Amino acid sequence: MWRDTVLVAGKDLRIEARSRVALSQVAPFGVVALAMFAFALGPDRAPMAHGAPGLFWVAVLFCTVLAVQRSVSVEAVDGARDGLRLSGLDPAGLFLGKAAAVAAQLVVLELVLTVGVILLYGARIETPWLILASSVLGTIGLAATGTLYGALSAGLRVKETLLPFLFLPIAAPVLLAGTRIWQAALSGGIPADAGPWLRLLVVFDAVYLALGVVVYGPIQESA
């Protein structure tokens, strides 16, 4: 399973390294989204710094939708999905591999967005390890749920419109928890408040990773 995970993740990341879609389109989209939020909230910095945690995670969520769509579409042509199923790779490894590739891209993206939030919104980070923990845990959860829903919607003609509708509500706990942890980590927050939300993220990740490992094979058959 782990070998298959590495193989699949390597494949997806190699495609990304050669096509640069996430780097040249998804990451800039995230920055554009941050800029749009700034326009919407006006020139005053106070509401922006106040809303920075939520806006960061909303931007991450939107970018996750794009990253997942990309992760699905690289296998949409030339019967690549059937090829993967025939290859004898463990479905659990396939799931973990695709999720890991999405997660790796999201981590880079979150770095860019964090810098963006600090520069554009004037957010000041007081407790860096909380930011790091929320990003790592949130990314795992988003990648796991995103990959699951990506596989579910893979064969559908309406996948572009359906995926955000199905995925965003399922990912809402990550948005909620991530935002609260960020609020606790920025200046003026209380780091101790982050505890329950970190636990929520851990449970969320564990549940959806476990679900994915168990059901990814059958999901592929239904797509």
Binding site for another protein (CB under 8 A): 145, 148-149, 152, 155-156, 158, 162, 165-166, 169-170, 172-173, 176, 196, 207-208, 211, 215, 218-219, 221-223
What does the DSSP assignment read for 7-63? HHHHHHHHHHHHH-HIIIIIHHHHHHHHHHHHHHH-S-HHHHHHHHHHHHHHHHHHH
Beta bridge partners of 162: none
Task: Output the six-digit token pair for 71.
Answer: 């992760």
What is the number of other CB atoms lying within 10 angstroms of the CB of residue 216? 21
Amino acid making up residue 173: P
88 or 218, CB closer to another protein?
Answer: 218
113 or 152, CB closer to another protein?
Answer: 152
2 or 165, CB closer to another protein?
Answer: 165
CB of 108 to another protein, least distance (A): 27
CB of 3 to another protein, least distance (A): 26
109 or 209, CB closer to another protein?
Answer: 209
110 or 208, CB closer to another protein?
Answer: 208
CB of 197 to another protein, least distance (A): 9
- Give the Cα separation of 99 and 142 in Å (integer): 9
31 or 193, CB closer to another protein?
Answer: 193
Residue 134 contacts residue 57 (beta carbons within 8 Å): no
Beta bridge partners of 125: 186
CB of 160 to another protein, least distance (A): 13
Residue indicated by tokens 């920025």:
186
CB of 93 to another protein, least distance (A): 19
CB of 20 to another protein, least distance (A): 32
Largest CA distance in the chain: 56
What is the separation, in whole angstroms, between the first and last Cα of the chain?
22
Three-state secondary-structure class, residue 125: strand
